[in-house]
Structure 1
Amino acid sequence: MVDSGSLFERAVSAPPVPRGLPLVIALTGFTDAGAAVSQLIEYLRDDLESFPLAVFDNDILLDFRARRPIVSFDGDRLTDYQPSRLELSFARDAMGQPFLMLTGYEPDFAWEAFSRAVLGLAAEYGVSTVTWINSIPMPVPHTRPIGTTVSGTRAELTAAHSVWRPHTQVPGTVAHLLEFRLAQTETPVAGFVLLVPHYLGDTEYPAATLAALDSISAATGLVFDGDDLRAQNKQFLTRVEQQVGESDDLTRMLHGLEERYDAYMAGSTSATPMVHTGDLPSADELAAELERFLASRPSGDEDKRPGTLG
């Protein structure tokens, strides 16, 4: 059995941390539709004031051959090595409100030991709530708000924000395990799974990250400045709308998704369940149609070549 205390090292210059702060968890792993989680991590680490408290050991938790580190090569020598990072940090939001965040990769190994370590740190800092974010592809249109499925022990958040409440089994993530263990200790915990349009699942979709920040705000009261993301999303949607508007097939596909989504959200007894795609195209079919359409564009139009949705 792996000793949970050996999984991380304390940061030498860690600042004093008040007790009772909310903890936000964002871990990349099994699914990250729209790159919502990876973009969220980048925002939290780069756009906010933050200080590492505990750095987890890659040699114990990470499969390097599955997720290789980045090495920079310059002519005839190596100039940089960038290992993956999994760390607990102290941060402040746009209003200066303090919180804790656990960000980085989902561990490949020692999930139970990792969960014990995280629960121990949560108890040590006396966290008030825990909120985690994930994203999955769903047959929903990009012309509608991104919905969420909310799990955990905070019934008020589920009632207010969970648009899809399935009774099913899914492949577990370490965030699921953390939620399960935290609930056993009666720690207030909520998991927000973003329902991202499946045909945009392999892109960096700024709206998904904005939805992640909105979910965290709803759960914690933290405030984030999303102006840059909103500007990026406006440009992204302009490209998508242009591509869809110039293809009859894509337009019909989008209208079908919109009709099915609106019927589901209206609670119609005749509405087809959100996850039943029926005669709607799959993500691969949508992507293939986009690629065929873009490939037919005249050369030299750099904004309309395959891959511009990213």
Structure 2
Amino acid sequence: MPPLGDLYERVANGPAVPAGLPLVILLTGFTDAGSAVSGLIDYARDELDSAPIAIFSNDALLDYRARRPIVSFEEDHLTDYQPQRLELSLSRDALGQPFLLLAGYEPDFAWDAFSAAILRFADVLEVSTVTWVHAISMPVPHTRPIGTTVSGTREDLTAAHSVWRPHTQVPATAGHLLEYRFAAAGARISGFVLLIPHYLADTEYPAATIAAMDRIMTATGLVFTADDLREENREYIAKVDEQVEGNEELSRMVRGLEERYDAYMAGMSGGVVTPPLLEDADLPSADELAAELERYLASRPSPDDDKRGGGVPPSPLTE
């Protein structure tokens, strides 16, 4: 494994970075249900004014065989090679407010060295807050707002926005390690876990990206526009609803999810002890729902497994 100095390259003549900016972390990979994070990365790269500060080394951090680069072939020759990207950039939101953005793939290797490097950047640049988002598949209905679990050191955000506070163990991501290290260092960090309907987790679900965007705005005061995403989501949901309404079994299963969700949320607002948010009994599986939705959902494939929310583990709520 290369030494720490080879994990990244500082960009020559990179932008001057003001002290005290918020840092936003968007890493795709193991927990990206609904393509929430990858969709937000695409938005940031397409719509925001960003200038890289440091570019991380794929040779040091990426398993190419697990996440292969894309090449373009035209008749008898290759025309393009598109490697994965992981960059720390100075970006600006819709109002021109500057912030730091760490965006790209979740490193496959050298997590300790990677997290140490990010903490050093944050220290040198005197970041004000750190916010990261990821998404997991959960047996919840698409007809209700996307909920979150909030972790970190910002108790105000946890109190206001965390709808599920489990005692559990889950496979860690590089984002978890970064949060753990930042919290140990006394940083103001918040992590938002989006709870995405399990039957939509393997699709590019626009509402998931919108929810990720909303949580970052809440934590940082940044402003993003999502008019195109919201229109795309309206069309997406209309087609899903059409499939559900046309099948009585599907409708019955979704109603069951709605009842559990509503009972849980009512218990939270009433301050009473409630049963788990989701229970195994009569719970529709992702396969049962996805089979009925396949005709539509299959029309929304992603060329990259890393952008499909693939590999998401079973919900700890049902364990």
Question: TM-score band (shorter)?
Answer: over 0.9
Tell me the SS of whatever aligns to 1:267: helix
Tell me the SS of whatever aligns to 1:266: helix
The residue that corresponds to 1:66 in the other structure is 66
Within 5 Å, give how 1:220-299 maps onto structure 2. Answer: 220-267=220-267, 271-291=274-294, 294=295
Pairwise CA distance, 1:113: 0.3
Contact 2:23 2:127 in 1 (8 A): yes
The residue that corresponds to 1:75 in the other structure is 75
Mapped partners of 2:6, 2:219: distance in 1? 31
Inter-CA distance 77–2: structure 2 relative to 1 (3 Å threshold) = closer
Mapped partners of 1:264, 1:98: distance in 2? 39
Partner letter of residue 143 of structure 1?
T
The residue that corresponds to 1:14 in the other structure is 14
Pairwise CA distance, 1:46: 1.0
Partner letter of residue 189 of structure 1?
I
Range moving further from structure 2, 264-273 or 23-32: 264-273
Mapped partners of 1:60, 1:170: distance in 2? 26
State the identity as a percent. Answer: 65
Mapped partners of 1:250, 1:220: distance in 2? 39
Contact 2:260 2:278 in 1 (8 A): no
Pairwise CA distance, 1:59: 0.3
Matched length: 298
Pairwise CA distance, 1:125: 0.7
The residue that corresponds to 1:298 in the other structure is none
Partner letter of residue 240 of structure 1?
V
Mapped partners of 1:290, 1:98: distance in 2? 41
Range moving further from structure 2, 72-81 or 282-291: 282-291
Tell me the SS of whatever aligns to 2:148: strand
Inter-CA distance 250–72: structure 2 relative to 1 (3 Å threshold) = same
The residue that corresponds to 2:28 in the other structure is 28
Within 5 Å, give how 1:1-310 maps onto structure 2. Answer: 3-267=3-267, 271-291=274-294, 294=295, 307-308=298-299
Inter-CA distance 59–306: structure 2 relative to 1 (3 Å threshold) = closer
Root-mean-square deviation (CA, aligned residues, Å) is 1.5
Deviations 1:29-81 (A, max 9, x none): 11211000110110111111100000000001000011100011111111110
Range moving further from structure 2, 248-257 or 271-280: 271-280
Inter-CA distance 170–218: structure 2 relative to 1 (3 Å threshold) = same
Mapped partners of 2:238, 2:17: distance in 1? 43
Contact 2:6 2:60 in 1 (8 A): no
Mapped partners of 1:71, 1:191: distance in 2? 34
Deviations 1:198-224 (A, max 9, x none): 010011111111100110011000000
- The answer for unaligned runs of 5 or more in structure 2 is 302-319
Inter-CA distance 2–76: structure 2 relative to 1 (3 Å threshold) = closer
Inter-CA distance 275–261: structure 2 relative to 1 (3 Å threshold) = same
Partner letter of residue 274 of structure 1?
L
Contact 1:35 1:205 in 2 (8 A): yes
Partner letter of residue 192 of structure 1?
F
Contact 1:2 1:110 in 2 (8 A): no
Mapped partners of 2:133, 2:98: distance in 1? 19
Mapped partners of 1:26, 1:65: distance in 2? 22
Mapped partners of 2:167, 2:278: distance in 1? 12
Point out 4+ residue stretches in structure 1 off by more than 6 angstroms. Answer: none
Pairwise CA distance, 1:260: 0.4
Q: TM-score normalized by structure 2?
A: 0.90
Pairwise CA distance, 1:11: 1.0
Mapped partners of 1:306, 1:165: distance in 2? 31
- The answer for unaligned runs of 5 or more in structure 1 is 295-304
Pairwise CA distance, 1:285: 1.6
Range moving further from structure 2, 79-88 or 12-21: 12-21
Pairwise CA distance, 1:308: 4.0
Higher RCO by CA contacts (8 Å cutoff, separation 6 or greater): 2
Tell me the SS of whatever aligns to 1:40: helix
Mapped partners of 2:181, 2:9: distance in 1? 22
Contact 1:236 1:309 in 2 (8 A): no
